[in-house]
Amino acid sequence: MNVLEAINQRRSTRAFLTKPISKEIILEILKISSRAPSGSNTQPWSVYVLLGEKLKNLTQEVCRAYESIQHEPRLVENFKSWYSYYPEEWVSPYIDRRRENGWGLYSLLGIQKGDKANMHAQFLKNFTFFGAPVGLFFTIDRSLGRGSFLDYGMYLQNIMLAAKEFGLDTCPQAAWNEYEKVILPIIGSGPNELLVCGMALGYIDKSDKVNEYQAPREDPSQFITWLA
């Protein structure tokens, strides 16, 4: 697969097979991806790879935390990300794209507006890595600046593209960020590490309808300004 094919075929996969992935392949993906550029070669990424029982135990803990909020909404104050991934106030056109994406996926799954039970069940799948056999968590040292997040994004994109070379798919996940207090002690991160995001890695389950969804993209005319 060439680079352009990998970019075009990459998408957020939300249902995986349980088929295991060798540590050698995972290592190769993470190693080659570290060729991503970073300011002054700081290489700000730290990666935690969860497999087997460790993966199962962590997902159970986070699912319990998520369910506790559903029963006691006030508990949401106990689970907050250290940084705001989304804006505090949504404006157009970003809110419009968000809604189009969300309802596009839910409509495909037959989930109607107001169907909170099925919305809840679908969102909960985030915290099982959508059934993937490999869960990745990415942390950053709290001393680093905003530019390191740009570097991190390039590293994450490299992982998602490199995975395609091995016939694997991914789903980058900001949903984990709210449960940093649960996750970091389990993975054994250092006192100066902060959670950036999680990512599911595995073989796509092509029989699951959810993987038919492909998020739309704007026409380039909407975001390119030509200057000559």
What does the CA dihedral 120, 125, 128, 134 come to, rounded to 10 degrees?
-160
How much is the pTM? 0.95
What does the CA dihedral 29, 30, 33, 35 come to, rounded to 10 degrees?
-130
Q: Is the confidence at residue 46, as pLDDT, over 90?
A: yes
pLDDT at residue 127 in the model: 98
Q: Where does the pLDDT of residue 174 fall: very low under 50, low under 70, confident under 90, or very high at 90 and above?
A: very high
Domains and CATH numbers, the chain: 3-86+128-213 (3.40.109.10)
Mean pLDDT of the chain: 96
